[in-house]
Structure 1
Amino acid sequence: MGKRGRACVVVLGDLGRSPRMQYHALSLARQASFQVDIVAYGGSIPHEAVLNHPSIHIHTMAQPRFIQYFPKILYPVTLLLKAFIQFTMLLWFLFVKVPAPDIFLVQNPPSVPTLIAVKWASSWRRAAFVVDWHNFGYTLLALSLGRNNLLVSLYRWFENHYGKMATGSLCVTKAMQHELDQNWGVRAKVLYDQPPEFFRPALLEERHELFCRVRKDLCHPIGVYDFISRELENQELNETLFTTKFNADISLKQNRPALVVSSTSWTPDENFGILLEAAVMYDRRVAARSKGSETAEISEEQHYPNLLFIITGKGPEKEMYEEKIKRLNLRHVAFRTMWLAAEDYPLLLGSADLGVCLHTSSSGLDLPMKVVDMFGCGLPVCSVSYSCIQELVKDGKNGLLFSSSSELADQLLILFKGFPGNCDALMSLKAGAMETGSSGRWATEWEDCAKPLITQVVSQIADS
C-alpha cells in the first residue's frame, strides 16, 4: 500500500497494557500488508497474536525509573526531566533504530514529548503522521496538578499545537470528534473500539481449565478469610468454585457464587470506593434477609447468591484499596485482585456473570475499552454514568448506568435475584450484550474507518 511498505506504531507506555495499539499493529500487518515496527515500553506481555506475527517487530525502550525516587516537592522538575529523557530516547529510536516507514501512528496521550518527537521524525523521514486520540493528555495531568496549573496550560498548548500538525487523526467517540473539530481545529475520524475475535463467551471446558489455573490467585490473601477461602479448603480435585468435572462431562454448579469482573488502572479517574461501598450494602441486605428467613426456606426466585468480585489491573492505588478490602469483613461478598495473562483475560470475561466499570474519563470524552471487551464476551455491564458513555452502554439494553454506590447496590440486588436460574433481568441484559458484541468487530471497524484514512495520507506523502 505504501512506497516502503512499512508502518511504525508509537506507544509511550506499556505495550501490554495498550490493547488498542496492539490491535492497530495487527491490522496494519494483516489488513494493509505492512511490516510493522512498534516502539514502546516493556512491562506486561503483549497478546501472543502480536508476539507471533512475522511482520510485527517490537522495539522496547528502557524506562527512566530512577526518577521515581526524587522527592515529591520536586514533582514539576521531575516531570520536565522525565519528558527530556523520553524525548531523547524517542528521537534515537525514531530517527535511527527503526527503518524509515510510510506512516507513524502514535497514541495520544501522552502528548509530551511524544507528539513533538513523532512530528519531527515524520518530517525528517518523509512519512505520514497520524494521531490516535484516546483522550486529552492535559486533562490527565490536571488530575494531579489542577486545571489552573501553569504546567497543565503549557501541556495543553503543546498537545494542541502538535496535534494540529498531524497528517490525519483518529479518535474514539463522536463527542471527542466534535471537541477536536470545534475547539482544536483537528478533523478526526471516529474509530470506535471494537472487540477482536478472541473476546467471546467461554466454553465450559475453557472455564473449568481457567479456574483450575487461577486457583492459587483465588486462595485467600494474607489477612483475609472469607467464604471463598472456606470453599476452596473443602474442594475436590475435580471441581472449581464454579464447575464440576465428572469423567469427561463438565457442568456449572447450581450453588456457585455469582462472578463479577472489573478491570481498573487503579488511578484517580476511577473511584473504586464506589464499588466497595456497594458491596458492603449488598452484603448487609443479603445478611439481613438471610437472618430474617432462618426458619423459612427461601425459594429459588427469592435467592440472592454470594458474590465474588475479581478485579484485574495494575496501578498506583491498588495497595491502598487492597488494605481497605481486608478491613471490610463481609459474609456474602469476596474480592480478589489479580493480573492475568493476555490470553486468560478474555476467558475470564467470557466466564463472568456481570461486569462493573468505574471509568469516568478525565475529559468526559473517551469510552472505556474494558466495556467493549466485556460486550465482545456477551457480558452485561453496570457502568458509572458520565457525558458520553451512552455512545456505548445503552441503559436497560446491554447494561445499567449508576451515579452512586447505593444505585449500584440496588442494581446488584435486582440483577442477581433468583441467580443462577431465575434472574430474568440479568438474562435480558446478557442478550443485549451478546447482540452488541456480535454487531461489530475490530477488523471490520478498522477496514471501514482507519484503512481508508491511512491509505489516503500515505498516498499524499508519497506524491508530494
Structure 2
Amino acid sequence: MAYLAIVLSFTAVGLLLGLVVVLTMLPSRYVKKHSPTASKEESAVSVQVLVLGDIGRSPRMQYHALSIARHGGSVDLIGYLESTPHPDLLSNPRIKIYPLATPPSLLKSSSLPFIISGPLKVLWQIWTLVHVLGYQTPPARWLLVQNPPSIPTLAIALLVSILRNTHLMIDWHNYGWTILAGTKGRNHPFVQISKAYECALGQAAPTANVTVTHAMKRQLERAPYNVTAPIHVLHDRPAAIFHPLKSLSDRKDFLERLPETRDFASNILAGDTRLIVSSTSWTPDEDFSLLLDALVTYAKQPQQQQQQQQQDTSCPIIAIITGKGPQKAFYEGKIRELQKTGRLPNIRILTAWLSMEDYANLLRCADLGICLHMSSSGVDLPMKVVDMFGSGLPVAAYSGYESFDELVKEGVNGLGFETADKLAAILKRLFSNEGLAELRTLGEGAKKESNLRWDEEWDRILGRVLGVMD
C-alpha cells in the first residue's frame, strides 16, 4: 500500500512537471494593449501575413502587407525568399520578413516517388510553419493566410491562431483541390481527401474570409464548402508601380536599354514590329501551347500568297514570356524546334526573368498582353491581367471560366479566346492596318481600368475589418 502511494505520488509529480514543461513550450499569446499610456507602436494592429510560396511571386500578399503598414500596422511577412520581393517591402520599417526554410533538395528530387516525397515534404512544412508562426514571430492580432496551398497551411494556421489568441483570415485565391485535380484527375483519392480537408477547414478555421471574385464568394457559401464566417470580396487591383506610359521618350529609353528588346527597339517604336508580353508560371493550369500554336497560325502565309511567292504581310512580332516554373525548359525546347524548322517566320519568342521594376516597364511599353490562365476552379482571376490593366495594356486572355467577365470586358479593355485559332485571328486583326482603331480602343479601356487602384479598394474592403482604419 505504501509502495502504491509512493508510485502514485511520483506519477502525480511527473505529470505535473510534464504539464509545466508543455505549458512553458506553448507559444506566447496575443494580449491587446488596453492601457491609455501604451505608445502608438505598442497599440498598433499586428498582422502575420503567410504565403506558403515565394513572397516575390505573391503580389497580392505583398500588397496586403504594404497596405497594413501604410495605415500604421505592423506586419510579419512569412514565406519563401526565392526571388526579390517588392522593393517597398524591403525598405518599410513596419514590415519584417521571416523566410521559411526550403525543403531539402532530396524532397524536391524526381528520384523519390510522390507517395514518399509528398508526405515528407508536408512534414517539413509543418515543422517550419509551427516554428516560425508559433515561436519565431511575436503573437499578432491577425493571421492572414493565402489559400492555396491548403495542405498543411490551413490546419497549422488554425492551430496557431487558437494557441496564440489570434484572429484567422483566409484569403481565397483559388482551391488547392482543384489545382491538384488538374494533374491527378478529380476522382483521385488524394484529390478527394484534399477537397474534404479544404471544405472542413474552410468551415472551422476563419474568423473572416476574403475572396478574389464574387463568383468565388457565392461558391463558398454553398455546398460542399458551406462557409458561415463573413466573406469579403476584394478584387485584385494594381499597385502603384504599375501605371500607364508617361511619355514616348520613356518607351524609347526602356526598349533600347532592355537586352531582350534592344535589337528591335527602332522597329517596335516605328510600329513595324509588334511587342506582346505574357507572364506565366509555366504550370499545367496555363496551356502555353495555345500561344505557340496561335503564333504558328499567325505566321502562315495564305495559300494564294505562297503560290504567287508574295512576301508575308503579317506584322512581325516580338513575344517576351516572363516567369519561372516547372514546364519552362520543356516549352523552350518546343520554341527552339519551331524556330529551327522555320515555322515562326518574322516571329521571335524570348523568355526572361525580370525585376519588378523592369516587368512593370515592359508592360507599359508593349502593344498587347497575353494571358493563358485557365482557372482550375472557374472562379478565380489572374493577377497578371490586373497588372497589365494597371499599366494601360490591353489583353487577349483565355476566357473559358465563370469569373472571366468580372475582370475583362469584351471589346472594351480586352478580348477573350478559348482556342489557338481564335487567338491567331485576334492577333491578325489587331495587328493589321484595319485593326489599329480597335487596338487603340482597347488601350483606352485598359487605361480607364488603371484608375482603379489597390489602395482604394483595400481601404474600402479590409481597412476596418483588420482594425487599421477607424
Q: Is TM (by shorter chain) over 0.5? A: yes
Query: Structure 2 stretches of 5 or more lacking a match?
Result: 1-31, 34-42
Q: Would the alpha carbon gap of residues 67 and 293 (structure 1) be closer, same or farther in structure 2, given more than 3 Å must change?
A: same
Q: 1:287 to 1:454 in 2, by over 3 A?
A: farther
Equivalents in 2 of 1:347, 1:146: separation in Å? 39
1:78 is aligned to 2:117: yes
Q: Which residue of 1 aligns with 2:56?
A: 16
CA distance in 2, matches of 1:100, 1:289: 70
Matches within 5 A, 1:369-448: 369-386=383-400, 387-418=402-433, 423-438=436-451, 440-448=452-460
Task: Say yes or no: does 1:36 pair with 2:80.
Answer: no
SS at match of 2:301: helix
Answer whether contact 2:281 2:324 (CA < 8 A) is retained.
yes
1:208 aligns with 2:252: yes
Q: Which amino acid is 1:428 matched to?
A: T
> For 2:423, what is the secondary structure of its paired residue?
helix
1:305 corresponding residue in structure 2 = 315
Amino acid at match of 1:408: L
Q: Highest relative contact order (Cα 8 Å, sep 6+), 1 or 2?
A: 1
**Contact 2:157 2:168 (8 Å CA) reproduced:** yes
**Does the 8 Å CA contact 2:48/2:77 hold for their aligned counterparts?**
yes
Are the structure 2 counterparts of residues 402 and 432 from structure 1 closer, same or farther at C-alpha, using a change threshold of 3 Å? Answer: same
Residue identity in the other structure for 2:463: K
Give the letter aligned to residue 293 of structure 2.
E
Counterpart code for 2:242: F
Q: 1: CA distance between counterparts of 2:165 and 2:440?
A: 54
Contact 1:287 1:331 in 2 (8 A): no
SS at match of 1:201: coil
C-alpha distance in 2, partners of 1:288/1:10?
58
> What stretches of structure 1 move > 6 A for 4+ residues in a row?
none
From 134, 145, 152, give the equivalent of 1:106.
Answer: 145
3-state DSSP of counterpart to 1:279: helix
Which residue type is aligned with residue 326 of structure 2? P
Once residues 35 and 8 of structure 1 are traced to their aligned partners in structure 2, the CA distance between those partners, rounded to angstroms, is 9
Aligned match of 2:286 in 249, 270, 275?
270
CA distance in 2, matches of 1:254, 1:147: 50
Q: Which residue number corresponds to residue 260 of structure 1?
A: 276
SS across alignment from 2:275:
strand
Equivalent in the alignment of 2:28? none
More moved, 386-395 vs 149-158? 149-158
The answer as to 2:357 corresponding to 1:318 is no
- The C-alpha deviation readout for 1:216-268, integer Å capped at 9, x for no partner, is x458xxxxxxxxxxxx3xxxxxxxx2249xxxxxxx73254100010001111
The residue aligned with 1:236 is none
Instruction: Assess if the C-alpha contact under 8 Å between 2:212 and 2:236 holds in 1.
Output: yes
Q: CA deviation at 1:206?
A: 3.3
Aligned counterpart, 2:170: 131
In the TM superposition, what whole-angstrom CA distance separates every residue of 1:63-116 from its partner, at most 9, and x where no partner exists?
1032022535x2122211111110111000011100111110000000111111
Match of 1:225 in 2: none
> SS of 1:106's equivalent?
strand
Q: Take 1:15 and 1:117, find their aligned partners in 2: how far apart are those partners?
A: 19
Task: Give 1:196's aligned amino acid.
Answer: A
- Tell me which residue corresponds to 1:192: 235
> Per-residue deviation at 1:208?
3.2
**Alpha-carbon distance, 1:119 to partner:** 1.1
Structure 1 unaligned regions, length at least 5:
220-231, 233-240, 245-251, 460-464
Shift of 1:291: 8.0
> Any conservation in 2 of the 1:286–1:304 contact (CA below 8 Å)?
no
Give, in whole Å, the separation in 2 of the partners of 1:180 and 1:397: 30
Whether the 8 Å contact between 2:244 and 2:450 is mirrored in structure 1 is no
Within 2, Cα distance between the matches of 1:288 and 1:448? 58
Instruction: State how far apart, in whole Å, the 1-side matches of 2:364 and 2:304 are.
Output: 32
State how far apart, in whole Å, the 1-side matches of 2:433 and 2:110 are.
54
Higher Rg: 2
Kindly indicate whether the alpha-carbon contact (under 8 Å) linking 1:350 and 1:378 is maintained by their aligned counterparts in 2. Answer: yes
If the length of structure 1 is used for normalisation, what is the TM-score? 0.85
Q: Between the two proteins, what is the percent identity of the paired residues?
A: 40
The 3 A distance-change label for structure 1 pair 436 and 98 is: same
> How many residues are aligned here?
418
Does the Cα contact within 8 Å between 1:270 and 1:359 map onto a contact in 2?
yes
1:45 is paired with a residue whose SS is: coil
- Distance in 1 (CA, whole Å) between partners of 2:290 and 2:110 is 32
Post-superposition offset of 1:270: 0.7
Amino acid at match of 2:237: Q
Amino acid at match of 2:284: P
Could you say what the CA RMSD is over the residues aligned between the two structures, in angstroms?
2.3
Whole-Å Cα distance in 2 between the matches of residues 121 and 56 of structure 1? 20
Q: CA deviation at 1:205?
A: 3.8
Normalising by structure 2, what TM-score?
A: 0.84
